[in-house]
Amino acid sequence: MKEYVRHIFGYILGFSLFFVLVPFALYELSNLDKLICPCIIEKYRQIRYILAIPIFCIGALFAIWSNIFLLKVGMGGPTEGFGIAVSPPTKKLVVTGPYRYCRNPMVFGAFSLYISWSIFLGSVLCLFVLVAFLFVAILYLANSEENRLLRDFGEEYLEYKKNVPMIFPLSIRKMVKRNS
């Protein structure tokens, strides 16, 4: 029962942070674009919408799909955030479903959602902030999450890490590997 409550708490916290707070912050940040460069905002409205919708759908798919696989196959959840245990850790290394395309499909999904939201809002400033935040996220994942996975799953994780890109499913490394 305690583990179930931790899962529920973790998903409520994650949903609140990643699907309410961050989009709200991006919306507020996008208001600065209206002051800095109002011409971009209105000029390409239909093109922005056409670009944002498929990116949003891909992001939502990866975000939801990866959570389901982590829970069902890995028998755990997104373990922690900044050293705070949120949900029980996975008991099995998940390498199927969305995890066969990238090691962090939740991050890929969330960033896709945020990019689509920024495009929808027409915010160049939001896009710049997201790119900077992506670098911070990569450093965090490499120094925190990957160390935990290596500790928990050892050689199995190292082999998986060697063959699957970190965040972006169509990474340059994988494309070069296929062509050689």
As given in the structure block, the two tokens for residue 94 are 């998940």
pLDDT in tens, 54-79: 999 999 999 999 988 888 887 766 65
> What's the full length of the chain, in residues?
180
pLDDT in tens, 106-118: 999 999 999 999 9
| Separation between Cα atoms, residue 170 and residue 166, nearest integer Å | 10
**17 versus 148: which is more confidently predicted?**
148
pTM of the model: 0.80
CA 101 and chain centroid, separation: 13
Give, in degrees to the nearest 5, the angle at Cα 151 between 60 and 136: 45
In order of their start, the domains of the chain are 2-172 (1.20.120.1630)
